[in-house]
Amino acid sequence: MMAAPEYPSVAGEIRYDEPMSSHTSWRVGGPAEIFFKPADATDLVTFLHGLDDDMPLFWFSLGSNLLVRDGGLPGVVIAAAGVFDGLEKISDYQVRVGSSVPCTRLARQCIRWGLGPSEFFAGIPGALGGALAMNAGAHGSETWERVVAVTTIDRHGVTHERTSADYEVGYRSVRGPANEWFLAATLQFDPQVEPSMATLKEMLAQRKETQPLGLPSCGSVFRNPPGDHAARLIETAGLKGRRLGGAEVSGKHANFIINRDHASAADIENLISLVQQKVADEHGVLLVHEVRIVGEALRQ
């Protein structure tokens, strides 16, 4: 471990060797070497100004689409959950949303404001920052279809105002300026679309009925291949209920891997690889995982 730096002017919380299993929806993951939860944006800038250029830096919010390996994360982890939580209507059909705002909260508030289509955000687990980073979607709609502009911050604490034209966006894929993280986004909604709280409730009820929401998971593990569904391929390969250690392919929804019984990150990662291999053997399709896998393997 590198020596712990001092941040005498930081107002936020700094922890050392913080278990990431306490901060991910899978409830697995080794320790973060330095774990920082800023008090606000100004506090984050102060912290970043004190970092060495060669210090590894990782940013996350709710940890809902994240697998941290059992050996943990070197360097600094920025915990953004609950920090950048502004949500305001800035014009008739535009809202300004902080990256820490949960997508379900965004959906509900936009419906109250009469802004649509916004119901689909309720089908995205996690916060807006993660949805921006991967162009998350649900019910046939995607995050970046609504994005007009974003505010980002780089590792030196400099903020940038970017437009959607600065990013190359695809299915569950976003490429833009390197080493920048999302602080907020301006979203544009359609004046011709009337949102419905009843539709949102139907979506949430369907999600509850078809997904194993009571058990630790990351949401959908794999991207849907063109013209097909990952869950169908996994199920027809006979993998529902397949276990490795404490990890299990859900019997309720085959594109979910659940932490059934004190799984390790290695259990989950190995099961992801097994599913990919079996589906490739059975169907000739290589599934691509949309979950982000980071950190170091546990040393034996």
Helix (H) or strand (E) run with residue 281 in it: helix 265-283
Interatomic CA distance for residues 209 and 204, integer angstroms:
9
Are the beta carbons of 37 and 18 closer than 8 angstroms? no
CATH architecture under which domain 212-294 falls: Alpha-Beta Complex (3.90)
Position 5 confidence tier, pLDDT thresholds 50, 70, 90: low
CATH architecture under which domain 13-79 falls: 2-Layer Sandwich (3.30)
Catalytic one of 172, 242, 260, 264: 172
Is 220 designated active site? yes
- Reply yes or no: is the peptide bond before residue 225 cis, omega within 30 of 0: no
Is 290 designated active site? yes
Is 172 designated active site? yes
Domain ranges for the chain:
13-79, 87-188, 212-294
Q: Name which of 119, 136, 115 is nearest 127 in CA terms.
A: 136
Count other Cβ atoms within 10 Å, centred on residue 75: 15
Catalytic one of 142, 180, 248, 290: 290
pLDDT tens-digit map of 201-241? 888 888 888 888 889 999 999 999 999 999 999 999 999 99
Per-residue pLDDT at 41 exceeds 80: yes
Q: Name which of 70, 73, 50 is nearest 60 in CA terms.
A: 73
Position 6 confidence tier, pLDDT thresholds 50, 70, 90: low
Quick one: DSSP state of residue 115?
-
Fold that domain 87-188 belongs to in CATH: 3.30.465
Catalytic one of 25, 100, 118, 220: 220
Per-residue pLDDT at 7 exceeds 70: no
